[in-house]
Amino acid sequence: MLDPVFIDGGRGRIHCTLFRPATTPRAGLLWLPPFAEEMNRSRRMMAGLGHALAARGWLTALPDLCGTGDSAGDFAAADWSVWRDDVTATARRLAAEGVDEFVIGGVRSGALLALDVLATLAQPSRRVLLWQPLPSGRLQLRQFLRLRVAAAMGGAARESTADLQARLDAGETVEIAGYDLSPSLAGALAALELEQLMPPPGVAVDWLEVGAGEAPEPGVASMAIAAAWRAAGHDVHLGTVAGDPFWTTQEITWVQPLIDRTVACLDTAVAVPAFARLGVR
What pLDDT is stored for residue 118 in this prediction? 86
CA distance 255 to 257: 6
What pLDDT is stored for residue 202 in this prediction? 85
Percent of the chain residues topping a pLDDT of 90 = 81
pLDDT at 126 over 50: yes
Q: Which amino acid is residue 86, in one-letter code?
A: D
pLDDT at 281 over 80: no
Instruction: State pLDDT tens for residues 55-107.
Output: 999 999 999 999 999 999 999 989 999 999 999 999 999 989 988 778 999 99
Percent of the chain residues topping a pLDDT of 70 = 93
Q: What is the mean pLDDT of residues 206-230?
A: 94
pLDDT at 275 over 80: no
* Contact in structure between 196 and 232 (CB atoms under 8 Å): no
What pLDDT is stored for residue 152 in this prediction? 73
* Contact in structure between 217 and 238 (CB atoms under 8 Å): no
Residues 6 or more apart whose Cβ sits within 8 Å of residue 194: 112, 115, 133, 134, 135, 136, 225
Q: Which amino acid is residue 96, in one-letter code?
A: A
- The more confident residue out of 236 and 273 is 236
| Confidence band for 156, pLDDT divided at 50, 70 and 90 | low
Q: Which class in CATH covers the domain with range 2-132+203-269?
A: alpha beta
Q: pTM for the whole thing?
A: 0.93
DSSP letters, the chain, are -EEEEEEEETTEEEEEEEE--SSS-SEEEEEE--STHHHHHHHHHHHHHHHHHHTTTEEEEEE--TTSTTSSS-GGG--HHHHHHHHHHHHHHHHHTT--BEEEEEETHHHHHHHHHGGG-SB--SEEEEES--SBHHHHHHHHHHHHHHHHTTSSS---HHHHHHHHHTT--EEETTEEE-HHHHHHHHT-BGGGGPPPTT-EEEEEEEESSSS----HHHHHHHHHHHHTT--EEEEEEE---TTT-SS----HHHHHHHHHHHHHHTT-TTPPB-B--
Residue ranges of the chain that CATH labels 3.40.50.1820: 2-132+203-269
Long-range contacts of 218-225 (CB under 8 A, 24+ apart): 219/135, 221/135, 222/133, 222/135, 224/195, 225/135, 225/194, 225/195
